[in-house]
Amino acid sequence: MATVTGKLKHLPAPDPLGPNPDPWADFREIEVLGLEWTQHYKHSLGKYSRFFLELENRRFFATRCPKCQKVWTPPRPVCPDDLTITGWVELSGRGQVVSFSVLHYAPAMLSFLKTPYVLAYVKMEGADTLFAHLLQNFGDLSQIRHGMPVRVVYNNGPVDHPIMLMAFEPADS
Amino acid sequence: MASREVVVVGGGITKFAAERVDASVRDLVTEAVLLAVDDAGVDLQTVEHGLTSYESDHFNRQMTLGAILHDHIGMVPKPNVRVEGGGATGALALRTAFAYVKSGLCDSIIVYGGETNGRSVTSATAQQFFSLSSDADWEMMVGGTYTAYYAAMMREHMRLYGTTERQFAHVAVKNRRNAQFNPVAQKPMDLTVDDVLNSIPIAEPYKLLDCSLLSDGAAAVILATEDWAARHSTRWNERPAITFAATGCGTDTMRLGDRPFPYPGLAHFRGKREAARQAYKMAGIKNPRTEIDVAELYDSYSGVELQACEELGFCEYGKAGSLAEDGVFDLGGDLPVNTSGGLLGRGAPVGATGIAQAIEIMLQLRGQADPRRQVANARRGLTDTHAGTGTHCVVNIFERRD
Ligand SMILES: [Zn+2]
């Protein structure tokens, strides 16, 4: 007898639209496999890198466009409004929640997150765009609201991705 | 260009299901193509061009699936092109095929697409794959999923306009009810608004029954010039001609947070508005609410259908919720939306979704939908399809001409 590793099932499949006549009657014997695949990526953070390196120093950076003065966070090396090369600028790390969602399920790569967790869109002090990150230590879910003051908090890792060296927490207004 | 109208010769769609255990993605697409060829009444050997519509290489552990599919349906050595536009893939594929025929590059083209989003991986992994289609460095790693992004958008819509969970629950009820009259639909259900409100929370304010489906399935459509259809389709005179009248496409920033305030801000789909503006101009539509008879909108989440109604100009901002409660978008209403069941009820194998929407409009305009979901005297129909949080939006318009 043959041995197939990863064989999940071998079954007769019905015509999903039934009833017969089934044009595929000769092809209703089905084998289903389980396949495994993991891989390693060498992933450059490119011109975003300083943002992530400064998180290790517990500092929050954005980029400012020298032409239109718009402050982008997450940073952009080029301002898309006028295709001008930007420069780094440090922000206070304080901001206000604009909108948020309360998640009861985490995707596969983030299965370490305790649910419910909160993803917040935050208008950072001094920035013109919104920064999305986890809102931690939120206490009572019903207290989270539009306009709620928050601040960036840092941790020492270890983390899978340097973006996780920071998160948001409620702050005094 | 009026002399070179693009017509829909025919279309085919497989049964959509959470797990089509009887078929690989190539089997599903082949099945849809055989149905399309039969519906169109053409010999596939006479069709000049292929177009492969699928989003992800991840679900099937197979790159360049287009080469396999084109080969599988006997189209080699004729030309082929693969189109990808995230959730909008199928609609973008049709828009691309429209341009190929309109330009004279070919007189006939078959657009085929499918996906196995339902069974290939676990739901958590599927969410992970779809999260990779947001900004993987800046949004995904901080806990972002599409449900989370859409939920934040809807929360902002609720804050700005007073839209309620009960209002978007109506959409979830309507679309799954419509699915009961569509034999290929994945999730026909007879629900109440309270069933939706009481379903488990996924990403508040969205509950389980507000969320669309992960599906296995495929769909195919043959487009051509009218002259080609008259010469090659044995069924061309059996039914009213359906023309592909207009198409529009709009985009927005990848990250929600980069969008300007107050418009689009977090609550609006600017790319949809732009796509609709172009399509309405091409079709000569001034008042979409009265000039469109039936629409298939991209209800990835129930609230998104309300947001889409507003961006497409069916009503003012903030008004779609109460119109939904009044039954305007129901079967028998003024402007029936998602008669097929939509993504919530029929299902959404990504590469097939936009094509399936077009097939529903084709059936409606021909008067061939199940009588329980047929819109009386439908003469013009619209499809609205988007990727991401509206990062890539396509609006296609079809008309019955007789
Ligand atoms: Zn600038």
* Closest Cβ–Cβ partner in A48, A99, A119 for B143: A119
Report, as an integer, the average pLDDT of A71-90. 98
- Cβ separation of B203 and A102 shorter than 8 Å? yes
* Portion of chain B with pLDDT greater than 70, in percent: 99
Q: Is residue B381 part of a domain?
A: no
Q: Is A41 on the interface with B (CB under 8 A)?
A: no
Q: Is the pLDDT of residue B1 over 50?
A: no
Partners of residue A77 in chain B, C-beta under 8 Å = none
Q: Is the pLDDT of residue B93 over 90?
A: yes
Q: Is residue B52 part of a domain?
A: yes
For A85, phi then psi, to 5°, come to -70, 130
d(CA A85, ligand 1 centre) in Å: 8
Instruction: Find the CATH number of the domain harbouring B68.
Output: 3.40.47.10
Partners of residue B14 in chain A, C-beta under 8 Å = 16
Distance CA B29, CA B232 (A): 22
Q: Is the pLDDT of residue B118 over 70?
A: yes
What is the token pair recorded at B337? Answer: 């939306």
Q: Is residue B99 part of a domain?
A: yes
Q: Quote the minimal CA–CA distance from B12 to chain A in Å.
A: 14
- Half-sphere CA count of A137, side-chain side, radius 13 A: 9
Q: Quote the minimal CA–CA distance from A164 to chain B in Å.
A: 7
| Residue-wise pLDDT tens digits, A20-76 | 789 999 999 999 999 988 889 999 999 999 999 999 999 999 999 999 999 999 999
Q: Which residue of B has its CA nearest to A104?
A: B202
Domain ranges of chain A: 2-35, 46-170
| Residue-wise pLDDT tens digits, A17-36 | 888 789 999 999 999 999 98
Q: Tell me the pLDDT of chain B averaged across its residues.
A: 96
Q: Is residue B291 part of a domain?
A: no
* Closest Cβ–Cβ partner in A103, A130, A164 for B203: A103
Instruction: Name which residue leads in pLDDT, A36 or B320.
Output: B320
Reduce the DSSP state of residue A69 to 3 states and report it.
coil
Q: Is the pLDDT of residue A110 over 90?
A: no
Number of domains in chain B: 1
Assessment of whether the complete model's pTM goes beyond 0.90: yes
ipTM of the complex: 0.94
- Cβ separation of A74 and B255 shorter than 8 Å? yes
Q: Is A4 on the interface with B (CB under 8 A)?
A: no
The pLDDT, as a whole number, for residue B154 is 98
DSSP character for B21? T
Q: Is residue B89 part of a domain?
A: yes
Q: What domain range is B49 assigned to?
A: 6-118+214-238
What is the token pair recorded at B206? Answer: 């969205």
* Portion of chain B with pLDDT greater than 90, in percent: 93
* Closest Cβ–Cβ partner in B21, B128, B257 for A107: B128
Q: Is residue B33 part of a domain?
A: yes
Please report the residues numbered 60 through 79 in chain A whose beta carbons come closer than 8 angstroms to any beta carbon of chain B.
72, 74
Q: Which residue of B has its CA nearest to A100?
A: B152
Q: Is the pLDDT of residue B187 over 60?
A: yes
Using CA atoms in the order A159, A160, A162, A166, what is the torsion angle rounded to 10 degrees? -50
At residue B61 the predicted structure's pLDDT band, cuts being 50, 70 and 90, is: confident
